[in-house]
Chains A and B, each alone.
Chain A
Amino acid sequence: MTDTAAERDLPSTAACARPTAGGVALFSVIAVIGLLLLFAPFVFSDVRSTQVAARICVFVVLAASYDLLIGYTGIVSFAHTMFFGMGAYGAAMGLKFGGADWGHLLLGSVGGVLAAAVLAVLIGLLSLRVKALFFAMVTLAAGSVMMVLASQLTSLTGGEDGLVYSTPRLFKPAMKLVTNADGEAARLFGVPLDGRLALYYFVFIVCLVVFVLLARIVRSPLGTVLEAIRENELRAEAIGYRVVAYRTAVFVIAAVAAAVAGVVWAVWLRYTGPDTTLSFDIMIDILLMVVIGGMGTMYGAIIGVVVMSLAQSYLKDLMSAAAGATSGVPILPHLLDPDRWPLWLGLLFILLVLFFPAGIAGTLMKKGSRS
Chain B
Amino acid sequence: MSGSILRLDDVHTDIGQYRVLHGVTLDVPEGGVYVLLGRNGAGKTTTLRTIMGLWRARAGAIVFRHRDITALHTADIARLGIAYVPENMGIFGGLTVEENMRLASATSRFDRTRLGRIQDLFPAIRQFWDKPAWSLSGGQKQMLAISRAIIEPRDLILIDEPTKGLAPSIIRAMIEAFREIARDTTILLVEQNFLFASSLGQGVSVIDDGRIVHDGDMAALAADEALQTRLLSLSMAAHQ
Contact = CB atoms under 8 A, between A and B. Distances in A.
Interface of A: 1-4, 7-8, 10, 12-15, 17, 221, 224-225, 227-228, 230-232, 234-243, 371
Interface in B102-150: 102-104, 108, 130-135, 141, 148
Nearest to B135: A371
Contacts of A12: 94-95, 132
Among A10, A12, A238, max chain B CB count under 10 A is at: A238
Given A237-B78, A238-B78, A242-B75, A2 B96 contact: no
Interface string B49-79: 0001010000000000000000001110011
B92 A228 contact: yes
What secondary structure prevails in chain A residues at the interface with B? helix
A14 B94 contact: yes
Interface stretch (B31-39, B80-88, B175-183): B80-88
Nearest to A240: B78
Contact of B90 (A14, A235, A371): A235
B99 interface: yes
A10 B92 CA distance: 11
Contacts of B130: 17
A7 B134 CA distance: 7
Contacts of B102: 221, 224
Contact of A8 (B74, B93, B141): B93
A243 B75 CA distance: 8
B204 to A, nearest CB: 24
Nearest to B78: A240
B91 interface: yes
Contact of A238 (B52, B89, B132): B52
A111 to B, nearest CB: 34
A293 B191 CA distance: 46
B84 A238 contact: yes
Nearest to B130: A17
Contacts of B78: 237-240
Among A12, A230, A236, max chain B CB count under 10 A is at: A12
Given A12-B95, A238-B54, A2 B103 contact: no
B99 A13 contact: yes
A14 B133 CA distance: 8
A89 B25 CA distance: 60
A96 B100 CA distance: 51
A225 B86 CA distance: 19
Contacts of B148: 239
Given A2-B88, A14-B132, A237 B95 contact: no
Given A7-B134, A242-B75, A2 B95 contact: no
A203 B135 CA distance: 43
Contact of B75 (A227, A231, A241): A241
A310 B52 CA distance: 51
A3 to B, nearest CB: 4
B141 A3 contact: yes
A53 B215 CA distance: 72
A95 B71 CA distance: 51
A231 B141 CA distance: 16
Pairs of residues from A and B, 6 with the lowest C-beta to C-beta distance, nearest first: A14-B132, A10-B94, A7-B93, A240-B78, A12-B94, A3-B93
21 contacts: A3-B93, A8-B134, A12-B94, A13-B96, A14-B95, A14-B99, A14-B132, A15-B132, A17-B132, A221-B102, A221-B108, A224-B95, A227-B92, A227-B95, A231-B92, A235-B90, A237-B75, A238-B52, A238-B78, A239-B103, A242-B73
A231 B99 CA distance: 13
Contacts of B88: 1-2
Given A7-B134, A8-B134, A240-B79, A1 B92 contact: no
Given A12-B95, A227-B92, A239-B104, A371 B131 contact: yes
Contact of A235 (B92, B131, B132): B92
Among A3, A228, A241, max chain B CB count under 10 A is at: A3
Contact of A3 (B75, B87, B91, B108): B91
A238 B93 contact: no
Among B84, B94, B131, B141, max chain A CB count under 10 A is at: B94
Nearest to B87: A1
Among B74, B79, B86, max chain A CB count under 10 A is at: B74
A354 B52 CA distance: 42
B238 to A, nearest CB: 28
B134 A232 contact: no
A232 B92 contact: yes
